[in-house]
Amino acid sequence: MTTEQLHDVRLHVNGSVHEVQVPARRLLSDALRHDCGLTGTHVGCEHGVCGACTVLVDGTPMRSCLMLAVSAVDAEITTVEGLTEDDGTAQGRLSPVQQAFSDCHGLQCGFCTPGFLTTITAGLRETPDPTEDEAREMIAGNLCRCTGYQNIVKSVLRASEIVAERERGEA
Amino acid sequence: MTTKMFGAKVARVEDQRFLRGQGRYVDDLLTDDPRLLHSAVLRSPHAHARIVDIDVSDVLDLEGVIAVWTWDDLTGPMAEPLPLLIPHPTLTHGRTQYALARDEVNYVGEAIAFVVAVDRYVAEDAVSRIRVDYEFLKPVVGIAAARAAANAVHDDVPDNVGARMEQENGDARAAIATAPHTLTLDLDVERSACTPMEGRGTVARWDPDTSRLTVWSSTQTSTGVRGCVAAKLGLDLAKVDVVTPDVGGGFGVKINHPWPEELLVPLAAMTLGRPVKFTEDRREHFISSAHERAQQHHVEVGFDDDGRVLGLNVEFWHDHGAYTPYGLIVPIITSTQLLGPYKPANYRVVFESLYTNTVIVTPYRGAGRPQGCFVMERTMDAISAYLGKDRTEVRATNFIQPDEFPYEHGLVFQDGRELTYDSGDYPASLVKLKELVGWDEFEDFRAEMAAQGRKVGIGLACYVEGTGVGPYEGAHVHIETSGKVKVATGLTTQGQGHQTAFAQIVADTLGVRFEDVEITTGDTRKMPYAVGTFASRAAVMSGSAIHLAALRAKEKALRIAAEALEASEDDLEIADGVVSVRGTDASAGTRIDLGTVAVLSNPLRYAFDEASKAATQFSVGDPGKPPVAEDDEPGLEGKDFYSPPRSTFANGMHAVIVETDPDTAEIKILKYAVVHDCGNLINPMIVEGQIHGGVAQGVGGALYERMAYDESGQLLNASFMDFLMPYATEVPTSIDIDHLETPSPLNPLGIKGAGEAGVIPSAAVFAAAIEDAEGFPIMSMPISPSELFELRLAHADEPHPLTEESA
Amino acid sequence: MKPAPFAYLRPATLEEALAALAGEQGAKVLAGGQSLVPLLNMRLAAPSMLIDINALPDLGHVRVAEDGVRVGALARHAEVLGSAEAEQAQPLLAMALRHVAHPTIRNRGTTVGSIVHADAAAEVPMVLRLLEGSVDVASVRGRRTIPAAELFAGPLESTLAHDEIAVEAFFPALAPGAGVAFQEIARRHGDYALVGVAAHVETDGEAVTRARVGFVSVSDVPVVVDVTDAVQDPAGDPAATALAELDPAEDIHATAAYRTHLVKVLAPRVLAAATDHARSRAGEAIHP
């Protein structure tokens, strides 16, 4: 068996450049986790249904398990690790969506959470002040087995408030 | 003044790492280790076949493949069948599989060969190159086929019966024979599965420098995995450490152990001298992890004019799949927990546990209780319909009353102890539930909806859940010289927020700041004796153990502080990590912080830090005696175990209002209400989260999820495309919850378990509500719109059979 | 669940892509990949080469002209759905796209890709057929236009030759006096439909001059049935007319009888809605 050809791929993730060498079949989810060491993106089904692996590709939520790393060269990718806001500390400040999940008990085991956080981050840019129905619609493509979604819906609504509070300089 | 943490809605400490993408789940481990190897498993594509030959000759030619194992390569205990974890005298024909199939496969998905390669992609390439010759055998799929026994799953198990068990309190058949009214019902529940978002996974590393094996596994029992790895690999227990990192959900499936990969991964790591990882993918999870729920029940019930149950005789058939590694826990729970909050005068239950050529069955959240609740609550509804009585009235007639606790059922529970309920107030719960769901106003609502051409129905279901089963859990509390409190308990965590809830207990018991407490779970290096996280037992067992261990640490802290402050222990109190003489101000000599007490607890007192320096101002101990007294030890620690005489019994009631579309037969949830009693609440936010999750999982089990096997034993829906886990759009838009707190007298905190409760009454409550909307009986769950449509056809032009006689 | 190995090409021009496709019998085209990559991951498809067209220029358009909507091969469902002009010109497109999986899938998946995937359970192929649209395909041999009626050969099988790439789909504009409607029943929100039905109705004043109904998930290829006669006949039964040409199958989610029943429920509903739609549009045209 001949050696599988490796491709030099330059991935732009969370503002950093990762030069990786991967075979063409390497899924973006695996490249992020295993080649870039960004294990915050989780893999729950590898057929595009569960949404745990959702990352932002040029700001738009996409399934990283349904993209090839070689096909992501021209994109700016944001993973859960890139959501925190720079506040001068090493850790950074939780983004409004992250903070809302903490406030509202929007997670339990935390495995599906990164996909929800990325999805909602983009969703709130499009719908900054969602109704409860819109909040539910925003997360309707992500599976969670722990929370029953009740507190995730609340987190979406709370995140929208935090965005507004921070814009007003209240938080 | 320290704020009381017990009972407060404290935000979870674990969320910080999860929200930042810094959780560490098994597949995240060792990702930066270039020596890490990956594995894949060849799984049987056939449900029942003899293995004639396995040809792996092409595999090692593939670049990147390191090794391949089949059963022929296994030696010693590894070549023996996997353990039967929980034997039972009635499990006369228990069978377990081999880590790799020896000469027969009994379900699609059974492990046949194990490949280790440089990455998972290559490992899967290698698996596809293995050629197996099979001699096909006839598969047994489903309970009907297993009972018919035209074919056998195992040649040496007659009639596919693994176990037959009977329990009786009184003489149920005689009571039914003489009862004023009798009914018989046949009630079925189909297969489903836990399906946590993270599948199974194991990483192992052999360290030649220290001759130690470290295994990280996504398990619900690290001590269990440690024990079996040591036994199977022939290692001293002391050479094996098992660490459970963050776990992406369990719901029961990860309590079974050892999974074949939990042994093969460490075997490969030791053989190859390199770390090895196995990460189960979603398809594998469907066909090689465990399922549950499939049971068929036949009920005979005799009752009086008030609906009081005089005799209840239940026979049921439990599909346990191809093997019985976890014994009879699920059907035993059904057979005992079926009784719920009721006290039938005479009760007999008999079950057969049957082999089929399908994936094994081990407990799934609720573990046999959803089926039992379905049986009992459908029976209550049938009695109500027969007598034309309100369904809540018949239930109330049969309730165990508050003054009857402890209540003995005269049966033996899953833990081998007497089935004795500790506390509860079922009539009070029912009052709350009726209020919460609007039970008494429902007929007005029904009429209002009917006027719009809409069909609605209401249902309720009650359950009692044995929680906090023994035998024990332990805890170790260590107060460091910094004043920080490090706590270890051995059971594992799968998202329940143990790091928060347990820290709340420690903060209160010890009088320290919540922020100063750090909890470690599931690490055998820190707590080698532990059981595991299942049966809603973590809060009761480890919560109590942690409380006891913290009391011991506190006791010691007070003793040392009393000496240092020259005060009586009785006059001391601890708040915010500072011991002080009660009623004194903050002047010197009346206060000492716990960090300093920790320094004083250790006669070896190098002045590393300010706390050690400060400690020199106190003189402790008698110069005439040894620095460490005979009955003492250095350090400020407390360790204790909690081992209760028997389980606690949480309880609750759910009600739902559904709308069924007259045209499309779609089923919509309009209102969902829960009254829940798990004793004292440690963190109501976490408990409500558990209820939310349970209800959603229950909605899945009642309306969406099933394992669709065809006759040949192929699982037709082994993906999230076709196994329909609910999204946010399928669950109730809100869940109204009310709590009742009847403390358990069995543990110092008065708590009962809460983890599984939300899922127990789902099948029962949805069946009741749909039946109420449609006017014909719902005897089989789950139910889809297609099935409801077919039932409508079957019952067209037919009066309601349950109300017919009373009409 | 990892793909089997394949060679990979990311051409910069269509010519380069077409040449590569012509030269490699086992090659497949990768656009959005939302149907293809799951098949690769499950190893249900194992192409020798993937030709990734995502870097090709000038294929991401959603162009709206008087005659209809032209959707380039790289336009994502979300972009088509986001075009108010496209919705204005042909409302059925947006009505159907809202039912395509979930937004995250629509962000990557392409409308043209969905068409050539030719899944009878997918909304877009049926819509293209109902609207009598077409697909432009290119190959080293040249370009041609395939009318929707000739596009679907069998289950998951289009009539594109192996060396052809679909570069654009054309959805005709909704004529004045015509109306459309779409409804589907799915197990979960965002799932493939158990049954989906769309209607296209043309009216002249109060009279219905033409009525056609398209179906999702009730046949193994996208099916459109002309029910004009049944609609015009006061005693007619358009659903029965349609069912004569359908073959609802049983699967794990629905019996054939239930699918048949849903056709009977949904067909009259969408026909009525499309007729109302047509009349309201006619009304608008008269009274702007």
* In contact, B543 and B500? CB cutoff 8 Å: no
Task: Answer whether C253 sits within 8 Å of B663, measured CB to CB.
Answer: no
Question: Six-digit token pair at B64?
Answer: 């990147």
pLDDT of residue B364: 97
**Tokens 């191809």 correspond to what residue?**
B322
- Residue B505 CB contacts under 8 Å (≥ 6 apart), including other chains: B5, B6, B543, B546, B547, B550, B682, B749
Task: Answer whether B197 sits within 8 Å of A148, measured CB to CB.
Answer: no
Residue B460 CA to residue B673 CA, distance in Å, equals 9
Tell me, what amino acid is at B269? A
Number of Cβ within 10 Å of residue C84's Cβ equals: 10
Residue C37 CA to residue C31 CA, distance in Å, equals 10
Partner-chain residue, chosen from A7, A25, A141, that has the shortest CB–CB distance to C105: A141
pLDDT of residue B739: 92
Q: What percent of chain B has pLDDT over 90?
A: 90
For residue C134, CA distances in Å to C68, C73, C78, C167, C213 come to 11, 13, 20, 11, 18
pLDDT of residue B604: 81
Chains in contact with B via at least 3 Cβ–Cβ pairs below 8 Å = A, C
Residues of chain B contacting residue A152, judged by C-beta atoms under 8 Å apart: 728
Three-class HEC string of B218-275: CCCCHHHHHHHHHHHHCCCHHHEEEECCECCCCCCCCCCCCCHHHHHHHHHHHHHCCC
Q: Which of A95-109, B90-104, B310-324, B529-543 has the lowest mean pLDDT?
A: B529-543
For residue A45, CA distances in Å to B282, B617, C36 come to 5, 61, 15
Q: Which of B664, B711, B791 to mutate to test the interface with C (most CBs of C within 10 A)?
A: B664
Chains in contact with A via at least 3 Cβ–Cβ pairs below 8 Å = B, C
B786 interface with C at CB cutoff 8 Å: yes
* Model confidence band, residue B806 (pLDDT cutoffs 50, 70, 90): very low
Please report the sign of the dihedral spanned by the C-alpha atoms of residue C67, residue C71, residue C72, residue C73: negative
Q: For residues B702-714, give the mean pLDDT.
A: 97
pLDDT in tens, A98-156: 999 999 999 999 999 999 999 999 999 999 999 999 999 999 999 999 999 999 999 99
Q: What percent of chain C has pLDDT over 90?
A: 96
pLDDT of residue C19: 98
pLDDT of residue B470: 86
Range 509-538 of B in CB contact (< 8 A) with A: none
* Model confidence band, residue B640 (pLDDT cutoffs 50, 70, 90): very high
Residue C241 CA to residue C264 CA, distance in Å, equals 10
Q: How many residues does chain A have?
A: 171
Query: Closest residue of C to B716, CA-based?
Result: C252
Under DSSP, is residue B362 helix (H, G, I), strand (E, B) or coil? coil
Tell me, what amino acid is at B381? D
- Residue C167 CB contacts under 8 Å (≥ 6 apart), including other chains: C14, C59, C72, C73, C112, C136, C137, C138, C143
Query: Closest residue of B to A2, CA-based?
Result: B63
Question: Six-digit token pair at B297?
Answer: 């029940």
Q: Output B798 or B590, whichever has higher pLDDT.
A: B590
Nearest CA to CA, how far is B553 from chain A (Å)? 30
Confidence check: pLDDT of A2 > 60: no
B787 interface with A at CB cutoff 8 Å: no
Q: What percent of chain A has pLDDT over 70?
A: 98
Task: HSE, CB side, 13 Å, CA atoms: give it for residue B171.
Answer: 5
Question: Six-digit token pair at C157?
Answer: 């099988």
Residues of chain C contacting residue B121, judged by C-beta atoms under 8 Å apart: 2-3, 5
Closest CA to B195 of C102, A109, A140: A109
pLDDT in tens, B371-387: 999 999 999 999 999 99
Q: Output B410 or B727, whichever has higher pLDDT.
A: B727
* In contact, C225 and C210? CB cutoff 8 Å: no
Partner-chain residue, chosen from B11, B32, B685, that has the shortest CB–CB distance to A37: B32
pLDDT of residue B585: 76
pLDDT of residue C160: 96
Confidence check: pLDDT of B605 > 60: yes
Task: Answer whether A1 sits within 8 Å of B61, measured CB to CB.
Answer: yes
B195 interface with A at CB cutoff 8 Å: yes
For residue B139, CA distances in Å to B259, B434, C284 come to 23, 48, 65
pLDDT in tens, B300-341: 999 999 999 999 999 999 999 999 999 999 999 999 999 999
Q: Tell me how many degrees the CA angle B235-B241-B244 measures, rounded to the nearest 5.
A: 135
Nearest CA to CA, how far is A74 from chain B (Å)? 24
pLDDT in tens, B723-757: 999 999 999 999 999 999 999 999 999 999 998 98
Closest CA to B565 of B606, B525, B597: B597
Number of Cβ within 10 Å of residue B605's Cβ equals: 17
For residue B144, CA distances in Å to A162, B159, B740, C94 come to 56, 12, 42, 48
pLDDT of residue B584: 80
Query: Closest residue of B to C256, CA-based?
Result: B786
* Model confidence band, residue B621 (pLDDT cutoffs 50, 70, 90): low
Nearest CA to CA, how far is B400 from chain A (Å)? 31
Residues of chain B contacting residue C258, judged by C-beta atoms under 8 Å apart: 665, 785-786, 789-790
Residues of chain C contacting residue A57, judged by C-beta atoms under 8 Å apart: 107-108
Q: What percent of chain B has pLDDT over 70?
A: 97
Tell me, what amino acid is at C76? R
Residue B2 CA to residue C271 CA, distance in Å, equals 69
pLDDT in tens, C183-239: 999 999 999 999 999 999 999 988 999 999 999 999 999 999 999 999 999 999 999
Residue B639: exposed, middle, or buried by beta-carbon count in 10 A (0-12, 13-18, 19+)?
Answer: middle
Closest CA to B479 of B425, B551, B571: B551
pLDDT of residue B74: 98
Rounded to the nearest 5 percent, the helix, strand and coil shares of chain B are 30, 25, 45
Partner-chain residue, chosen from C10, C52, C108, that has the shortest CB–CB distance to A62: C108
Question: Six-digit token pair at B517?
Answer: 């407490």
pLDDT in tens, C118-144: 999 999 999 999 999 999 999 999 999
Q: Which of C24, C99, C107, C192 to mutate to test the interface with A (most CBs of A within 10 A)?
A: C107
Partner-chain residue, chosen from C8, C34, C42, that has the shortest CB–CB distance to A24: C8
Confidence check: pLDDT of C51 > 50: yes
Task: Answer whether B21 sits within 8 Å of A81, measured CB to CB.
Answer: yes
* In contact, B436 and B415? CB cutoff 8 Å: no
Residue C257 CA to residue C245 CA, distance in Å, equals 15
Partner-chain residue, chosen from C10, C104, C107, that has the shortest CB–CB distance to A70: C10
Q: For residues B171-198, give the mean pLDDT.
A: 98
Residue B219 CA to residue B275 CA, distance in Å, equals 19
* Model confidence band, residue B2 (pLDDT cutoffs 50, 70, 90): low
* In contact, A33 and B120? CB cutoff 8 Å: no
For residue B443, CA distances in Å to B457, B686, B771 come to 9, 35, 15
Residues of chain C contacting residue A55, judged by C-beta atoms under 8 Å apart: none
Partner-chain residue, chosen from A1, A79, A146, that has the shortest CB–CB distance to B495: A146
Residue B631: exposed, middle, or buried by beta-carbon count in 10 A (0-12, 13-18, 19+)?
Answer: exposed
Confidence check: pLDDT of B270 > 60: yes
Question: Six-digit token pair at C138?
Answer: 């290119």
* In contact, B289 and B325? CB cutoff 8 Å: no
Q: Tell me how many degrees the CA angle B171-B174-B180 measures, rounded to the nearest 5.
A: 125
Please report how the helices B391-398 and B369-387 are oriented relative to each other, as an axis angle in degrees rounded to 10.
110
Based on its alpha-carbon atoms, the radius of gyration of chain B, rounded to whole angstroms, reads 29
Partner-chain residue, chosen from B19, B121, B246, that has the shortest CB–CB distance to A98: B19
Residues of chain C contacting residue B128, judged by C-beta atoms under 8 Å apart: 4, 43
Under DSSP, is residue C215 helix (H, G, I), strand (E, B) or coil? strand
Q: Enumerate helices (H) and strands (E) in chain C, giving the number of each.
A: 11, 14
Confidence check: pLDDT of B807 > 50: no
pTM of the model: 0.96
C60 interface with A at CB cutoff 8 Å: no
pLDDT of residue B620: 58
DSSP code per residue over B706-721: ---B-TTS-BTT-STT
A·B CB contacts under 8 A = 184
Burial A71-101 (b: 16+ CB within 10 A, else e): bbbebebbbbbbbbeeeeeeebebbbbbbbb
Q: What is the mean pLDDT of chain B?
A: 94
Range 164-193 of C in CB contact (< 8 A) with A: 189-190
Query: Closest residue of B to A91, CA-based?
Result: B20
Question: Six-digit token pair at B712?
Answer: 């040949």
Residue C237 CA to residue B526 CA, distance in Å, equals 74
